[in-house]
């Protein structure tokens, strides 16, 4: 009789102290349906397989900053538009999802300072290279070498993540690629290149153009993201047929473990309990409603910007530390115009496919370029042009630059952080089971970096959850072959 009573008391104690022997499938909230949220949900469900439930909250449209816009009869990229040949996750996603690549077409372009073109590319690449060499000399090879070496170190992250490594903050992740990478966050691009022996002329022209076009900023930004901008001007570039937004859309909607909740999240509350388990209450408002609703989760992954200048703010309640997200995002105005370009406005006899500014304070525009339809079709004149600028284009300027305007659409786009040599946020892990994908954006903003950050957070969340539920079914299923589960699979 005494033995039975002892066993009964022991059983009640186990139930009271944390159900560590109970089968526990985690409930996960992912906030944000862009490439970061899509990547995080994909890799986390890959790791946890059937033993997970994911609610993915998106306040607007799945795809986030990957989007298209319709101009007359043409649908063109409105967000992130170019993918580099070294972007291995985007390569893998395309293969996994059965998507099709659109290779970038050869285009004629010129670098414009507002008074004259300091460089105009030739139809022959060897002639363009000779013209660049004539203007910048061997410094051109010095710049190319610096960027190539950086890419060589950057791609080490794929082997590290395939091996199951994860990092609680951005500094640790960058250090794993190259111990000197974090130093690049503290040095401006101009200072870095001058230190490496590059000339001011090349920095203020060629490098400035790359940064202005890619990030709407100038050579005073930190040198890690500046190097990413330069890397984006070289190599085999491509996009995805029917739009790059197809990657997050397919990763999310094909995943049977992900339930899309078309709502905006307003609050995340830390629920204290006595079981040494962190659980969070998420408050959200459905589209078309004003009534708040709540759901509880074991894991919360935020894959959306949290700075004060964002449209949708999230309140953090009852956390031990005051969560603050400093910094602001750069607003870029993307104006899409179906019209004919007036070459005389730029001092040209014939139009170019692209005009890139190395002095946006004088030219008003950052760039103007012809864009193709995402379906790969080629339409005759008038073409669709995309103009990047730091402020809205005045109607008079549009008509100075273009004739026969059929349609114009403007998008004010908080595309990427406003970069400086002081990193604004570093932590992927905000709290016990609360994670922040977009921390990586403060080092550099690309589709691939969002995918890398999404996988890093997924591995972090996976490891942390198994640590809490050592005797759960998840632990038993995964302990024998963890490395295989962590390795990327194309069979999902």
Answer yes or no: is 428 within a domain: yes
pLDDT in tens, 187-201: 999 999 999 999 999
Task: Provide the whole-model pTM.
Answer: 0.91
Answer yes or no: is 309 within a domain: yes
pLDDT category at 470 given cuts 50, 70, 90 is low
Task: Note the pLDDT of residue 4.
Answer: 47
**Whole-number Å distance between alpha carbons of 88 and 72:** 34
Show the CA angle centred on residue 60, arms to residues 298 and 305, nearest 5°. 60
| CATH code, 439 | 3.50.50.60
Answer yes or no: is 276 within a domain: yes
Answer yes or no: is 149 within a domain: no
pLDDT at 40 over 90: yes
Identify which of 456, 431, 458 has the alpha carbon closest to the alpha carbon of residue 443.
456
pLDDT at 486 over 60: no
pLDDT at 475 over 90: no
Exposed, middle or buried by CB within 10 Å (0-12, 13-18, 19+), for 475? middle
Contacts of 482 (CB under 8 A, 6+ apart): 164
Instruction: Domain count for the chain, please give it.
Output: 1
DSSP 334-378: EEEEEEEE-GGGGT-SS--SEEEES-HHHHSEEEEEEE--TT---
Answer yes or no: is 413 within a domain: no
Task: Note the pLDDT of residue 105.
Answer: 75
State the average pLDDT for the chain.
89
Answer yes or no: is 274 within a domain: yes
| DSSP element (H, E) containing 139 | helix 139-154
DSSP letter at 184 equals H
pLDDT in tens, 335-360: 999 999 999 999 999 999 999 999 99
Asked whether 447 and 244 are in contact (CB, 8 A), the reply is: yes
CA distances from 209 to 185, 355, 364 (A): 20, 10, 14
DSSP letter at 394 equals P
Asked whether 37 and 31 are in contact (CB, 8 A), the reply is: yes
pLDDT at 392 over 90: yes
Task: Note the pLDDT of residue 304.
Answer: 97
**Whole-number Å distance between alpha carbons of 403 and 263:** 42
Which residue range(s) make up the domain with 261? 27-63+244-326+424-476
Task: Note the pLDDT of residue 194.
Answer: 97
pLDDT category at 472 given cuts 50, 70, 90 is low
pLDDT at 79 over 60: yes
Answer yes or no: is 395 within a domain: no
pLDDT at 246 over 50: yes
pLDDT at 1 over 50: no
Q: Higher model confidence: residue 271 or residue 322? A: 271
Q: How many residues are listed for the chain in this entry?
A: 492
**Whole-number Å distance between alpha carbons of 257 and 156:** 30
157-176 burial by CB neighbour count: b if 16+ within 10 A, else e?
Answer: bbebbeebebbbebbebbeb
Identify which of 386, 441, 437 has the alpha carbon closest to the alpha carbon of residue 68.
386
pLDDT in tens, 107-154: 899 999 999 999 999 989 899 999 999 999 999 999 999 999 999 999
Answer yes or no: is 304 within a domain: yes
């Amino acid at each position: 009789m005494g033995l039975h009573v002892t066993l009964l008391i022991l059983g009640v104690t186990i139930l009271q102290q944390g159900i560590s022997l109970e089968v526990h499938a985690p409930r996960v909230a992912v906030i944000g349906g862009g490439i970061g949220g899509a990547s995080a949900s994909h890799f986390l469900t890959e790791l946890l397989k059937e033993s997970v439930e994911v609610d993915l909250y998106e306040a607007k449209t799945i795809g986030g900053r990957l989007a298209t816009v319709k101009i007359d009869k043409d649908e063109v990229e409105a967000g992130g538009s170019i993918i580099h040949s070294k972007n291995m996750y985007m390569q893998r996603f395309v293969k996994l999802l059965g998507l099709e690549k659109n290779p970038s077409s050869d285009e004629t372009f010129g670098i414009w300072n507002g008074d004259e073109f300091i460089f105009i590319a030739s139809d022959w690449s060897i002639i363009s290279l000779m013209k660049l060499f004539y203007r910048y000399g061997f410094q051109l090879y010095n710049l190319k070498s610096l960027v190539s070496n950086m890419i060589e170190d950057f791609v080490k992250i794929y082997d590290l993540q395939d091996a199951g490594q994860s990092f609680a903050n951005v500094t640790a992740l960058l250090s794993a690629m190259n111990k000197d990478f974090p130093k690049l966050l503290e040095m401006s691009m101009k200072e870095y290149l001058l230190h490496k022996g590059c000339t001011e002329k090349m920095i203020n022209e060629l490098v400035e153009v790359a940064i202005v076009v890619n990030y709407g900023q100038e050579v005073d930004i930190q040198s890690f993201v500046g190097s990413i901008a330069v890397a984006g001007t070289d190599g085999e570039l491509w996009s995805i047929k029917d739009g790059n937004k197809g990657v997050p859309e397919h990763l999310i909607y094909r995943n049977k473990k992900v339930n899309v909740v078309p709502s905006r999240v307003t609050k995340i509350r830390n629920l204290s309990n006595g079981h040494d388990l962190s659980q969070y209450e998420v408050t959200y408002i459905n589209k078309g409603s004003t009534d708040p609703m709540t759901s509880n989760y074991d894991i919360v992954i935020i894959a959306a910007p949290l700075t004060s200048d964002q449209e949708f703010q999230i309140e953090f309640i009852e956390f031990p530390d005051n969560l603050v997200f400093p910094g602001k995002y750069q607003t870029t105005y993307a104006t899409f115009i179906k019209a004919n370009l007036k070459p005389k406005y730029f001092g040209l006899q014939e139009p170019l496919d692209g005009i890139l500014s190395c002095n946006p304070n004088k030219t008003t525009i950052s760039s103007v370029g012809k864009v193709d339809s995402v379906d790969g079709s080629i339409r005759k004149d008038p073409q669709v042009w995309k103009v990047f600028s730091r402020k809205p284009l005045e109607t008079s300027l549009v008509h100075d630059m273009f004739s026969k305007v059929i349609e114009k659409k403007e998008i004010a786009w908080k595309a990427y952080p406003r970069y400086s040599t002081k990193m604004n946020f570093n932590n992927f892990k905000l709290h016990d089971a609360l994670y922040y994908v977009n921390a990586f954006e403060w080092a550099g903003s690309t589709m691939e970096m969002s995918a890398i950050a999404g996988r890093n957070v997924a591995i972090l969340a996976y490891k942390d959850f198994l640590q809490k539920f050592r005797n759960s079914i998840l632990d038993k299923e995964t302990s024998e072959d963890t490395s295989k589960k962590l390795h990327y699979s194309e069979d999902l």
